[in-house]
Structure 1
Amino acid sequence: VEMHTALKLGFKAGVINRERLPAFERTLWRACRGFVLLRFTAADDCLQDPVTGEKVSKDVFVIFFQGEKLKNLANKICEGFRATMYPCPDSTAERSKILSNVTTRLEDLRSILEETQQHRMRVLTLARENLPTWIIRVHMMKAVYHVLNKCNVDVTQKCIIAEIWCPSADLDVVRHSLHKSTEKAGSTVPSILNCMSTTKEPPTFNRTNKFTKGFQVIVDAYGVGCYREVNPALYTIITFPFLFAVMFGDIGHGIIMALFALTLVFNEKKLEANKGANEIFDTFIGGRYIILLMGLFSIYTGLIYNDCFSKSFNIFGSTWNVNAINKTFMEYNVLQLDPVVKDVFNGPYPFGIDPIWSLSPNKLTFLNSFKMKMSVILGVIHMTIGICLSLVNHIYFNNKMNIFLEFVPEMIFILALFGYLVALIIFKWIVCKSADSKNSQSLLIAFINMFMFDNSSAKLYSGQGDVQYFLVVFALICVPWMLLVKPIILCVKHNKKEVSFVYIFDAGDVFVHQAIHTIEYCLGCISNTASYLRLWALSLAHAQLSEVLWNLLLNIAFTSTTSYAGIVPVVIIFFCFAVLTIAILLVMEGLSAFLHALRLHW
């Protein structure tokens, strides 16, 4: 705006926060008594506060006034409202010149910003190629400094001393590594390795490879054993997939699981390179050999169950006399199988379950009795193996007290009760050939009456009551044997100063600790034996789910003639069968069997 020389109008230009503008306008009008003219407009873009860095909305204003008094008053008001003032020349030529300079400067800044951004992108693009290498180097440097922080500096401040635990078999490897590092560093001072004697208990180290690592992780997840104790992971390599397969026994499902695991094994190098992208997939990669063994063992137990997608294989031919079965049972139009009936059952099937059981309506009754008893047998054997492993530890540490005061009564307790139950099951299989539910019930009642000293139930052999009475009494004697003898002996030895304890001896703590161990063991034998019945329950559930999928899907597709037209419905049904088999029977049932096998081992 060109000013008129006679009027001598002056003006001030600046910007102010938008929320302060109404108050700024009122104050300016009242203080100057209306002798100023204010014009303002909103800024096009939100500006950045140079102090806080936040985006703020501002308005551009111009104040017209006349005289020095109004000028000074307008300046004070602008300062009070924290308005930012910008100098502006009076003449149009000067203002045009400044505008041209500002425009040129803005263009230069815009050009510099674009070039800077392009240069930054080029630098980051080159850095991206070297980023994995840099990350590895940084991690290596952090690892080196982390180890150095654990070392001590000697009195000369020139050498670093590190105390480490090392397996005896790896001493030569450590010496070679130190010598090689000295040569690479170009140091003239050699590294010195000395073996020290200490009273501290060494940490437990279990050497693993890619095959045994998964099983060792399963064991270590429950707890790491003391130094030089027997490592149960070696036995877990067999027992874990086998107990899983008892619950998951199916030839077809086992083959699919084994093929999936083989795919992971053959591509392990490529998969290990991409490890870390997905936590669930990393779990499958780490447990590929566990999955492989679970699949192979499932094929084996599937052969024993003679079960492949709920169907049986007639490999050796049925050992049942079909003509005699028809003659005996077809008058009821029911195929009831009973090995006690003569001229019908010709002996046991060579391997696994006879395929004719799949046609019998009492198949579930037979398998229910078979799998329930088998679960008890496997459970008692598994627990007995665990107790025998404790004997290996006692012998190695030459702890005769624990052998005679813990291992012996523990073995007597479990064998007198549950070992006897296993003997009854095997005896009943050999002597009593029938597989009906009444025999199973009588065996359970006989075992319960054994604890109640009741001999009124039917006898399986002569003198059964006396044997059971002796076993129960002998098992009950083992309870105070485990509970009292060891703490009493320890207290006597402590009073006679025959044993030097490395800790503060407290008789009360010894008795409490032994009581907890005894109660946990005695109750655990009962509860854990019952817990092994999950082998029976999950095996039956898996077989029944497999049979349901077959009857509801594939059976309809294979038997339909007029309901569906063409091959397309059969393909759709088979696809649904495959999806449900993988989702329910392999993934969900497999995960359930895995967790139950894990619980039994823990």
Structure 2
Amino acid sequence: MGSMFRSEEVCLVQLFLQSGSAFNCVSELGELGLVEFRDLNPNVNSFQRKFVGEVRRCQELEKTFTFLEQEINRSLLPPLHGPTPCPNPSAPQPRELLTIEEESEKLARELKELSRNRDGLRAQLIQLSQYKGVLTQTHSLTASQVKTTPPITTLSQFNFNLRALLAWETYVYIAKASERLLWRACRGYVVVDFREMEEQLEHPDTGEMVQWTVFLISYWGDQIGQKVKKICDCFHAQVFEYPDSPTEREEILQGLQGRIEDIKSVLFQTEQFLQQMLVRTVAVLPQWKVRVQKSKAVQAVLNLCSPSVTDKCLIAEAWCPVRKLPELQSALREGGSGSGVDSFYNRLPCSTPPPTLFPTNSFTAGFQNIVDAYGVASYREVNPAVYTIITFPFLFAVMFGDVGHGLLMSLAALWMVLEEKDPKLRNNTNEIWRMMFGGRYLILLMGLFSVYTGAIYNECFSRGLSPFSSGWHCHNHFSDCPNNFLSLDPNITGVFTGPYPFGIDPVWGMSNNHLTFLNSYKMKMSVIIGVIHMTFGVCLAFFNYIHFNQLSSVFLVLIPELFFMLCLFGYLVFMVIFKWLAFDTTHSNSAPSILIHFIDMFLFAENKDNPPLYRGQLVVQKVLVVLALCSVPVLLLGKPIHQYITHKRKHRHMVSNCVVLSGRDFDAADAFMHQAIHTIEYCLGCISNTASYLRLWALSLAHAQLSEVLWTMVLHNALTWQGNMGSVILFLFFIVFAVLTVSVLLVMEGLSAFLHALRLHWVEFQNKFYSGTGYKLNPFSFSSIIHASSAL
């Protein structure tokens, strides 16, 4: 809890890595994920560093692996489904990397050769199959033409040349268009006959089975033949030589059949050998990829190091958590076990603020990401995520309060929590799903808190629940009721017996002033929650001031801010609660208006028509306003004056001791300007931020009204139908009701409430104590690198 409340202590260390064991030492640190390396060669181009050759070598291997993956995805049968298991081998030594390089290149060459041979055989098989289909289809066509030709007409008499063509397009209008073009271009000296093939053949480009169209063209003369060929080329038609005699066609068909069978046999053997090669590749490729990624990462880290004077070791600087320094030493000892000289580290003083590290788990990671999205905490600054775990779901639930909707959200999140170890869910690459799955615990708490606030509002899909008996009774009014409406007066004996045990009494759901009552209740509740939330944020600044030894800020910043907040808005909360306690149902008619009292407080006036809440109220309010006003100049001038006096004392002390002044001089104008901006921002922010919390009331009211409209317009109408038809109507309307509930009330309204709760935490709460100007510690970790590459 301590490291979650405040970031871990991080120190700067200097590593001395022996040249012979530097690779192993960095590899051990990558397996453990302990340190974040700093670049000691910022002025050296990335192409001029010492280990750039090894990095390029690994990049070339990754290109080879990409080709192997493409071949596996294209040709492996059956195809792989889902992510392949990711092994965790060690980083390869230079000799092992050379072996991987040789074997992968050999596999790539063999696969390229096999793929080229297979594609060539397949292209030949497609062309021969097309030729066979053309001859088979046109053989019956020419035979029927010969039977119907008059005896006096012969083919040689008209120089009748035949050409069989196969079109790639399968649409009829393409064939008709080509027929019209051939007729007009050849001026009628051509006869065209189209026929669709009986069986589908493979497309040479896409590999899909398509329906082909065969057309037989008869023409006169060589010039017309040239035109016909050009037109066929325009329509991307495949032209085959057409024998004149049936005997030649039969011989060619028999030869084609034999060649097709031979090619199929060779193609089958080629496919079998290709599958064997792909299976062998699948077995070794995941391990190779991980090992090369680790080697590339290690070489990239070594490029960040600088050589020593003697060039016998590499010097590196890194950020490391203090509590992990023993692990760092053991990792260096393990990595340099085969070397004659051990690698070691030294702690260095750091001139820049260290990075921030908050250890998280699957539960706290989602809340920490919400805070980090606004800004990473400065080093050792108070972490708001500790309190966001409770406050964020609670503020969301205040706006989203409904038992039914919260229960649906909780069940969906609970399913993700129970199935969180499923690799299909964890490795899903959909961005929206990954965001929801990463925040499954956040969604679960949001749903549970929504059930709680919905129970207080007594709303379940906009309907009220009655787990307890109502505190209001109307049986005494039945004899005196002249119409259908009743006004329940709590002053009449037996009408009001006491408050409802939990939440809002369900009788309010039937009253005409239901909305007026809820508006007043939720508005005051929003102001109370907002003032408490902001005051808590101001109080958290106390821990930052104490930790960073800024005791003067406690008296000159924190206390004036608390006085300004509590004397004005804290007193407003006090009046609301005091009115609730002092005026019960029997005195509700004589209760004064808090709004008028709060306005008169700033005007130093007294309204005789609005009686005071308590004796001496006017004096108390004047004192509180004066205290709030007096805190503003203290907040504005106190800290800059203290800084100026402190700087002068330090300056005189250094001059008297003949110490050379160093660093940037104190700028009083800059300090006053900075504090003036902070004071104006805080004083105006207290007003605007308090008003901003009224969004809790507005969003809650909107959610309740949308639920009411959805129930009244959809499901309520379906329940009015009777008989068998009513069951069908109810089933259909329930589907509409369920779809609208999930899409509008759960998704859209849930997202809206989430964004508003996010705004209340980032602006209204965190700006009271949180700077968010730090940067994360990103340790060198193989697991993070591999996970990031697999997510691409």
Counterpart in the other structure of 2:751: 591
Counterpart in the other structure of 2:126: none
Deviation sequence 1:485-543 (CA, Å, 0-9, x none): 21122122223336999543211110111011111111111001000001011111111
| Match 1:454 to one of 564, 581, 605 | 605
| Match 2:508 to one of 323, 335, 357 | 357
- Kept in 2: contact 1:339–1:433 (CA 8 A): no
Counterpart in the other structure of 2:678: 517
Q: Within 5 Å, which residues of 2 pair with 1:380-399?
A: 380-399=531-550
Provide the C-alpha distance between the structure 2 equivalents of 1:348 and 1:177, rounded to a whole number of angstroms: 66
- Kept in 2: contact 1:339–1:434 (CA 8 A): yes
Provide the C-alpha distance between the structure 1 equivalents of 2:378 and 2:759, rounded to a whole number of angstroms: 21
Q: Which amino acid aligns with 1:297?
A: F
Deviation at residue 204 of structure 1 after TM alignment: 1.5
Deviation sequence 1:391-426 (CA, Å, 0-9, x none): 111122231110001000000000000000000100
Structure ID, larger Rg? 1
Provide the C-alpha distance between the structure 1 equivalents of 2:720 and 2:225, rounded to a whole number of angstroms: 87
The answer to whether the aligner puts 1:544 opposite 2:705 as a matched pair is yes
Provide the C-alpha distance between the structure 1 equivalents of 2:683 and 2:561, rounded to a whole number of angstroms: 8
The answer to whether the aligner puts 1:573 opposite 2:733 as a matched pair is yes
Taking structure 1 as reference, are residues 326 and 283 closer, same or farther at Cα in structure 2, changes over 3 Å only? farther
Counterpart in the other structure of 2:719: 558
Deviation at residue 338 of structure 1 after TM alignment: 5.5
The answer to whether the aligner puts 1:155 opposite 2:309 as a matched pair is yes
Deviation at residue 573 of structure 1 after TM alignment: 1.3
Q: Within 5 Å, which residues of 2 pair with 1:340-379?
A: 343-379=494-530
- Kept in 2: contact 1:252–1:308 (CA 8 A): yes
Taking structure 1 as reference, are residues 339 and 149 closer, same or farther at Cα in structure 2, changes over 3 Å only? farther
Provide the C-alpha distance between the structure 1 equivalents of 2:277 and 2:574, rounded to a whole number of angstroms: 78
- Kept in 2: contact 1:261–1:288 (CA 8 A): yes
| Match 1:415 to one of 566, 569, 572 | 566
The answer to whether the aligner puts 1:140 opposite 2:294 as a matched pair is yes
The answer to whether the aligner puts 1:495 opposite 2:658 as a matched pair is no
Aligned length: 499
Q: Which amino acid aligns with 1:411?
A: L
Provide the C-alpha distance between the structure 2 equivalents of 1:474 and 1:490, rounded to a whole number of angstroms: 24
* Secondary structure, counterpart of 1:468 in structure 2: helix
Provide the C-alpha distance between the structure 2 equivalents of 1:553 and 1:132, rounded to a whole number of angstroms: 54
Deviation at residue 345 of structure 1 after TM alignment: 1.7
* Secondary structure, counterpart of 1:455 in structure 2: coil
* Secondary structure, counterpart of 1:559 in structure 2: coil
| Match 1:401 to one of 547, 552, 561 | 552
Provide the C-alpha distance between the structure 2 equivalents of 1:336 and 1:464, rounded to a whole number of angstroms: 34
Deviation at residue 180 of structure 1 after TM alignment: 3.5
Provide the C-alpha distance between the structure 1 equivalents of 2:756 and 2:328, rounded to a whole number of angstroms: 42
Taking structure 1 as reference, are residues 212 and 441 closer, same or farther at Cα in structure 2, changes over 3 Å only? farther
- Kept in 2: contact 1:336–1:361 (CA 8 A): no
Taking structure 1 as reference, are residues 227 and 461 closer, same or farther at Cα in structure 2, changes over 3 Å only? same
Counterpart in the other structure of 1:93: none
Provide the C-alpha distance between the structure 2 equivalents of 1:594 and 1:466, rounded to a whole number of angstroms: 43
Q: Within 5 Å, which residues of 2 pair with 1:102-501?
A: 127=281, 130-183=284-337, 186-271=338-423, 274-275=426-427, 277-324=429-476, 326=478, 330-337=481-488, 339=490, 343-433=494-584, 442-456=593-607, 458=610, 459-497=612-650
CA-atom RMSD in angstroms:
3.3
| Match 1:526 to one of 675, 687, 703 | 687
- Kept in 2: contact 1:387–1:407 (CA 8 A): yes
- Kept in 2: contact 1:318–1:355 (CA 8 A): yes
* Secondary structure, counterpart of 1:193 in structure 2: strand
Deviation at residue 262 of structure 1 after TM alignment: 0.9
Deviation sequence 1:71-115 (CA, Å, 0-9, x none): xxxxxxxxxxxxxxxxxxxxxxxxxxxxxxxxxxxxxxx99x999
Q: After alignment, is 344-353 or 510-519 more displaced?
A: 344-353
Taking structure 1 as reference, are residues 280 and 190 closer, same or farther at Cα in structure 2, changes over 3 Å only? same
Counterpart in the other structure of 2:142: none
* Secondary structure, counterpart of 1:194 in structure 2: strand
Q: Which amino acid aligns with 2:680?
A: I
TM-score for both structures, normalised by structure 2 = 0.58
* Secondary structure, counterpart of 1:601 in structure 2: helix
Provide the C-alpha distance between the structure 2 equivalents of 1:356 and 1:144, rounded to a whole number of angstroms: 70
Q: After alignment, is 514-523 or 467-476 more displaced?
A: 467-476
Deviation at residue 337 of structure 1 after TM alignment: 4.7
Q: After alignment, is 489-498 or 472-481 more displaced?
A: 489-498
TM-score for both structures, normalised by structure 1 = 0.76
Provide the C-alpha distance between the structure 2 equivalents of 1:470 and 1:327, rounded to a whole number of angstroms: 54
Taking structure 1 as reference, are residues 192 and 465 closer, same or farther at Cα in structure 2, changes over 3 Å only? same
Q: Which amino acid aligns with 2:503?
A: G
Provide the C-alpha distance between the structure 2 equivalents of 1:307 and 1:131, rounded to a whole number of angstroms: 57
Provide the C-alpha distance between the structure 2 equivalents of 1:45 and 1:197, rounded to a whole number of angstroms: 82
* Secondary structure, counterpart of 1:331 in structure 2: coil
* Secondary structure, counterpart of 1:269 in structure 2: coil
Counterpart in the other structure of 2:219: none
* Secondary structure, counterpart of 1:166 in structure 2: strand
Deviation at residue 124 of structure 1 after TM alignment: 6.2
Provide the C-alpha distance between the structure 2 equivalents of 1:117 and 1:516, rounded to a whole number of angstroms: 77
Q: Within 5 Å, which residues of 2 pair with 1:20-39?
A: none
* Secondary structure, counterpart of 1:163 in structure 2: strand
- Kept in 2: contact 1:413–1:475 (CA 8 A): yes
Deviation at residue 43 of structure 1 after TM alignment: 12
Q: Which amino acid aligns with 1:158?
A: K
Deviation at residue 363 of structure 1 after TM alignment: 1.1
Deviation at residue 305 of structure 1 after TM alignment: 1.2
**Structure 2: 5+ residue runs without aligned partners?**
1-222, 237-262, 654-660, 763-792
Provide the C-alpha distance between the structure 1 equivalents of 2:759 and 2:589, rounded to a whole number of angstroms: 32
Counterpart in the other structure of 2:94: none
* Secondary structure, counterpart of 2:377 in structure 1: coil
Provide the C-alpha distance between the structure 2 equivalents of 1:304 and 1:165, rounded to a whole number of angstroms: 50
- Kept in 1: contact 2:721–2:729 (CA 8 A): no
* Secondary structure, counterpart of 2:317 in structure 1: coil
Taking structure 1 as reference, are residues 346 and 271 closer, same or farther at Cα in structure 2, changes over 3 Å only? farther
Deviation at residue 134 of structure 1 after TM alignment: 4.0
Provide the C-alpha distance between the structure 1 equivalents of 2:229 and 2:345, rounded to a whole number of angstroms: 74
Counterpart in the other structure of 2:75: none
Provide the C-alpha distance between the structure 1 equivalents of 2:753 and 2:588, rounded to a whole number of angstroms: 26
Q: Which amino acid aligns with 1:150?
A: L
Deviation at residue 276 of structure 1 after TM alignment: 5.3
Q: Which amino acid aligns with 2:650?
A: K
Provide the C-alpha distance between the structure 1 equivalents of 2:325 and 2:410, rounded to a whole number of angstroms: 40
